[in-house]
Amino acid sequence: MSGGRAVFQEMRNMIRPMGTTTTNVLQKTRNIGIIAHIDAGKTTVTERILYFSGKIYKKGEVHDGNTVTDYMPEERERGITIKSAATACEWDSYKINILDTPGHVDFTAEVERSLRVLDGAVGVFCAVAGVQAQSETVWRQANRYHVPRISFINKIDRIGGDMNKAVKSIREKLGGNAVPLQIPIGREKDFIGVVDVIAGEAIYFNDADEDAFTKGPVPPELVAEMEKAREVIIDAASQFDDAIMEKFMAGETITAAEMKRGLRAATMACKATPVLVGTALKNKGVHQLLDAVCEYLPSPLDMPPIKGKIPGKAEEEVERLPDPAGALAALAFKTISDRNGDLTFIRVYSGELLNGSVVWNARKGKQERINRLYKMHADKREPVEKLSAGDMGAAVGLKLTFTGDTLCDRDNPIILGAMSFPDPVISMSIAPKTTADREKLGEALSQMVKEDPTFHRHTDEETGEVVISGMGELHLDIKVTVLQREQNVSVDVGRPKVAYRQTFDREVEVEGKHVKQTGGHGQYGVVKVRFELHPLLTGGVEFESEVVGGRVPTEYVPAVEDGLKEFGKRGGRLKWPFVGIKAILYDGKAHDVDSSELAFKSASELAFREAIDRVRIVLLEPMMRIEVEVPEANVGDVIGDLNSRRAQVDEVSYSGVNRIVSGKVPLAELFQYSTTLRSMTQGRGTYSSEPCAYTPVPAAIAEKIILDRAKALELR
């Protein structure tokens, strides 16, 4: 048995037998997310899934602002998804729990925490644009959590819609083993059906009856293409099924059931991505997509046991099987503030979470009472008595439990791996207009921070100014709108500011000496630190100790680490955090009587200051990967404008009748870009962007930025 097949079989064997009813329920449960780039159509796909499964009886439209999962006023006004919404439906005796996630990069945290708790995902791609910027981001997030995926090529009826091009972009840009299960019949507006490659038949959609479609022979002109697609399916399936491989090598016919079985194994191992095609807006292809969700995406029983750590024993790893009779293991993955009590979204991996029970918050080390449990349908709640292994739901009124916390049995504690979120790249000041607003502002911001791990707030110690930080202009704009509309807080906002970073231009060795004698015990600490450059370190200053022979006593080394990291985070004179630096403590001196943690911490800060004086500071700025879609007549103007913004244009490609300009541009140059783009293209141009890296600011521009920063800090 090959390595991939062995891993898959071992994973299956780890699930111990359970009661027949429980096993059947879990086998027919799917926990999936809908992920995509903005405007690829994932909310429409979700809406059609709910409609055709009978969960809702009237289709909503994004452009009409009446979809189920986009229920926030801001979502309906702007036509975008801001918060992931949970819902569920049933299809062919399967229970499907769904998270509809945002497609805009500013709300990437919603995708991150959704993928952390999902067993599978449907990636939605525009048939015209193929893989777009945010498609790459969500795909990488799914890779990080090993989430099996199927893909749906949407909008195939649009001008320029091309399934082959979209599949090629999945393979080339995402590195995904895209395996088409269907071939479209007809192009663009003449799209009338699909060829089911595995079944070897054609499916024709009925415009007059959304639920009806007819089957027939494959059009002769598509038979050769179908045979090639079947070879791709058999190749993917054979990698995870010995029987298929043996029959293939012997030249025997592979049955449809065998192809499905092998492809399902490859999909669950994240080695293949089945691809379907359709147009959700015109109700075509959604039935087949639902069938594929049930056929190829895993149940909780198919997933490896969830792993975690025992509190206080970081080196010990434990596992929990998806068994309702097992010890409780549940992860809180999202919190929504509510006047009637915070709503905490929970995925239960093992055991049962019961109304009225008392559970253990392993991360906080405290008890938490479960008062009310719900299954969610967007903004509507269905009360339930319990959530069992494999379920997703929500609890109201939890006092201590927030995003990333684990709920478990106190006698069988476990801490599940939490999520990681990117640091904010943009900030602005915010001030209440009245005294009454001042009192409400603090509480409102605290609620927002609790809800959104990528939204930060702090008070400037020198000016008393409240500063909010987020992932982009849209992110902060929506937060301000929510403050004013939902929280009734009137505020004035300052101009957005870029979250710059600092690093050194070279390595340097320095000594920090904190020696004072004030009568009685003095203060004595000497450290020698080597600062090395590590451009890939983006989370702050990294520390390492190479001290030998007790030159710096072991008990003082943590104080040196704290001093260096805290000073690096404060950012010295310019107050921008230092990154890309590794601080290595290689020598020092201590005094038997006068040394202390405080003395060594002060010495480490002095060492950092000395290093700053001896090197040249390199200013780093966040770069954004950008895609601008415009009519061909406007390409020249758009590229010229981007060049004036210090952009690096990498590619100009076709997207139907439009052109897509791709490249990188500094965030500082993108403020109000949407207004400029609309003006240049008479409202026909659109763009998307996402953070991609921090790069040095050109010397002349950096000098002005630093000078302006220094003057602003002096004025305070």
Q: Which residue has the higher pLDDT, 125 or 129?
A: 125
Q: What is the pLDDT of residues 282-326, one digit of tens each?
A: 999 999 999 999 999 999 999 999 999 988 776 678 899 999 999
Confidence at 462, pLDDT banded by 50, 70, 90: low
pLDDT at 20: 59
Residue 596: pLDDT over 70? yes
Angle subtended by helix axes 223-238 and 256-268, to nearest 10: 50
Would you say 179 and 295 are in contact if contact means Cβ atoms under 8 Å apart? Answer: no
How would residue 536 be classed by pLDDT, with cut points 50, 70 and 90? confident
- Residue among 567, 521, 389 at smallest CA distance from 23: 389
Q: What does 71-82 look like in DSSP terms, one character per residue?
A: -SHHHHHHTS--
Spatial distance between the Cα atoms of 331 and 401, rounded to a whole number of angstroms: 10
Please tell me the predicted confidence (pLDDT) of residue 548.
Answer: 85
Say what percent of the chain tops pLDDT 70: 94
DSSP 715: H
Structure tokens at 455: 């939204």
Q: What is the pLDDT of residue 220?
A: 94
**For residue 215, with 0-12 CB atoms within 10 Å meaning exposed, 13-18 middle and 19 or more buried, which class applies?**
exposed
- The DSSP secondary-structure symbol of 125 reads E
Give pLDDT tens digits for 609-625. Answer: 999 999 999 999 999 88
Q: What type of residue sits at position 137?
A: T
Sign of CA dihedral 126, 132, 137, 143: positive
Give dist(CA 708, CA 702) in Å, integer.
10
- The string of pLDDT tens digits covering residues 67-108 is 777 777 777 777 777 778 889 999 989 999 999 888 777 787
| Residue 296, C-beta contacts closer than 8 angstroms, at least 6 positions apart | 148, 150, 260, 263, 264, 267, 268, 274
> What pLDDT sits at residue 16?
44
Who contacts 252 (Cβ-Cβ below 8 Å, separation ≥6)?
none
Q: What average pLDDT does the segment 467-495 reach?
A: 86
Tens digits of per-residue pLDDT, 189-230? Answer: 999 999 999 999 999 998 877 778 899 999 999 999 999 999
Of the two residues 241 and 353, the one the predictor is more confident about is 353
CA dihedral (485, 487, 492, 498) in degrees, to 10, reads -90
pLDDT for res 519 = 61
Bridge partners of residue 660, in order along the sequence: 629, 653
Q: Which helix (H) or strand (E) holds 473?
A: helix 473-485
- Look up tokens 């684990």; give the residue: 406
Q: Residue 546 in contact with residue 617, Cβ under 8 Å? A: no
pLDDT of residue 361 exceeding 90, the answer is yes
For the residues 148-157, what does the mean pLDDT come to? 95
**Can you tell me the mean pLDDT for 554-582?**
93
Q: Which of 594, 608, 531 is nearest to 562 (CA)?
A: 608
What's the gap between Cα 639 and its chain centre? 30
Sign of torsion, CA 39 43 47 52?
A: positive
Query: In whole angstroms, what is the distance from residue 154 CA to residue 349 CA?
Result: 32
Point out which residues pair with 98 in neighbouring strands: 32, 87
Distance from the first to the final alpha carbon of the chain: 70
Is this prediction's pTM over 0.95?
no
Give the other-Cβ count within 10 Å of 607's Cβ.
Answer: 29
Over residues 336-348, the pLDDT tens digits come to: 877 667 889 999 9
Distance in angstroms (rounded) separating the CA atoms of residues 227 and 392: 41
